[in-house]
Structure 1
Amino acid sequence: MMKYIIHKTEAKPSFAGEWDSPIWRQAETLQVEHFHPQSSNHHPQTQAKVLYDDNNLYVLFRVDDQYVRAVHTGYQELVCQDSCVEFFVQPDPHKGYLNFEINCIGTMLLYYIEDATRTADGFEKYTSVPKELTQNMTMFHSIPGPITEEITTPMTWYLEYNIPFALLEAYLVPLHQAAGTTWRGNFFKCADHCSHPHWVSWSPIGEALNFHQPKYFGILEFGL
């Protein structure tokens, strides 16, 4: 099973996509590199880093991409259709998880999912997280948008944001993030409606093209 150590930071990131800054050099780099067979021949290199402090998780993605598109600009729109990165986090394996799905221009979809069985309108049991619960999130995206005409030249883009523990605690109480604590989660990159669609994960998802499979989540361990 995949495992990632989340190190603690004493200083907050600057939310400027500074991958090699002193603060982000504290973090380990994970590779989102397990492409589903239904993907096209475009295999973008996707990396992520995560840090934490007493109040937040901090997440930074770097994507060496091509065929970039992003037309969704409203909260809770289907950003997976655009050039998109995703972080699913499950603090308690006996409870649900939150899916932070964010396209390259910073538009987010966020649910709390308790039963990921697919239905006609989404999932068997899920809650659409109200936008007001995300008001203490800071989001940096290196690309302005929308991008209605696909960018076909190679480019590197960054997405950086915080997840307040208070947001998670609206659905998952109590939380524990002391050193040695383990959560579950996965990281993804997709682009469903781009000219070269692809679906890639950090922890492999098996044969089905479905990111919403908690049984395949990797281990996220809080370090020092």
Structure 2
Amino acid sequence: MEGRAKKLYYLILLGIFSLSFSYPSVYDSRAGKMGAVEEYFIHKLEGDLLIDGNWDKPQWHKADAIHILNNMGQDPGFFPKTQAKLLYDEDHLYGIFQVMDKYVKSVVEDINGPVYTDSCVEFFFSPDENNPLYYFNLEINCGGVALMQFSTEPHKKFKYLLPSDIEKIEIAHSLPKKVFPEIQDEVVWTIEFKMPLNMLSGYSKISDPKPGVVWKGNFYKTATFTSNPHYITWSYVDRPKPDFHLPQFFGTLIFQ
């Protein structure tokens, strides 16, 4: 009996030890330990919202801010501080970014041009609850020029949205459309957008935003062809080389 009691005692200790070291699924580089998948709760907008790039508008006070903190690849010399917020109503999705930045440049002026080579913010999102790996990527440089695609397989099966559809997105930007030469001093810039939901339905099925609906998504900050290149994410992407087109690492967007 004594031997059985000892064996049972050690099994109980082993079970307690194992439970205390159970690991969530995604590594959180900010904390240096394993962390849960990011979640963001999108609140419903009450009333109208003027799209003017003002981060401090009262309507945005209701929205929580996400922080884009997870670096991919080599650490940049200067790490920009980037925040973003989302709101929604029956017909639109609203977003705003605020960036405390240096080495800022914007030279791409054509819709669907390589805006990611400039100082750029990006919002990738999967609006169909039944197909969370199908996603849109909306990329906007600091001059307010947008690129937008819809992908069913990253880097392989995708299409650019028509410029006439992208022009339906109302975009406000605090900096001029063209920023050159590069601004090397510290500067704060914003991007704000208002996106019609019915524009998306021409490319994908949409789970209409309402309380309880869940989309997937990620937020990014990049500046590939500046003197301070960087690739920074909100939801951690577990890859050694920069790649934003990995929907399996998207965070969870929950409509309230």
TM (norm. structure 1) is 0.93
Distance of 2:180 and 2:206 partners within structure 1: 42
Which stretch shows the higher mean deviation, 132-141 or 23-32?
Answer: 132-141
Bigger RCO (CA 8 Å, 6+ sep): 1
| Distance in 2 (alpha carbons) for counterparts of 1:39 and 1:115 | 28
Q: How many residues align?
A: 217
Amino acid at match of 2:250: F
- Give the corresponding residue for 1:124: 156
Q: Secondary structure at the match of 1:211?
A: coil
Q: Give 1 or 2: higher helix fraction.
A: 2
1:120 corresponding residue in structure 2: none
Q: Which amino acid aligns with 2:157?
A: K
Measured in 2, the distance between the counterparts of 1:15 and 1:165 equals 16
Corresponding residue for 1:91?
Answer: 127
1:103-142 matched pairs, under 5 angstroms: 103-116=141-154, 123-142=155-174
SS at match of 1:64: strand
The answer to whether structure 1 residue 4 and structure 2 residue 40 are counterparts is yes
Partner of 1:209: 242
State how far apart, in whole Å, the 1-side matches of 2:176 and 2:167 are.
20
Q: 1:175 to 1:42 in 2, by over 3 A?
A: same
Q: Match of 2:109, as an amino acid?
A: T
Give the Cα separation in 2 of the matches to 1:9 and 1:137. 17
Please, which runs of 5 or more residues in structure 2 have no aligned partner?
1-36
1:16, 1:174 → 2: CA distance? 27
**Worse-matched range after superposition: 18-27 or 178-187:** 18-27
Distance in 2 between residues matched to 1:105 and 1:33, nearest whole Å: 22
- Among 12, 17, 32, the alignment partner of 2:53 is 17
| Structure-1 separation of matches of 2:158 and 2:182 | 32
Question: In terms of mean alpha carbon deviation, does 177-186 or 202-211 score higher?
Answer: 202-211
Deviation at 1:173, TM superposition (A): 2.2
The equivalent residue for 1:45 is 81
Provide the rounded CA distance (Å) in 1 between the counterparts of 2:169 and 2:147.
Answer: 13
The CA distance in 2 between the partners of 1:2 and 1:209, in whole Å, is 19
Q: Name the structure 2 match of 1:29.
A: 65
Distance 1:75 1:145 in 2: 12
Shift of 1:19: 1.4
**Contact kept? 1:9, 1:53, Cα under 8 Å:** yes
* Residue 76 of structure 1: how far off its partner (Å): 0.7
- Please say which of residues 100-109 and 141-150 is displaced more in the overlay: 141-150
- Post-superposition CA distance 1:63-116 (Å, at most 9, x none): 000000111000111011000000001012525211000000011111111110
| Partner SS for 2:76 | coil
After superposition, the CA RMSD in angstroms is: 1.2
Tell me how far 1:206 sits from its aligned partner. Answer: 1.3
Larger strand fraction of residues: 1
- Tell me if structure 2 keeps the 8 A contact 1:13–1:24: no
**Percent sequence identity over aligned pairs:** 35
Following superposition, the deviation at residue 148 of structure 1 comes to 2.3
CA distance in structure 2 between the partners assigned to 1:185 and 1:165 by the alignment: 16
Task: Tell me the residue number matched to 2:251.
Answer: 218
Unmatched segments (≥5 aa) in structure 1? 117-122
TM-score, length basis structure 2: 0.82
| 1:23 partner SS | helix
Q: Is the 8 A contact 2:218 2:251 kept in 1?
A: yes
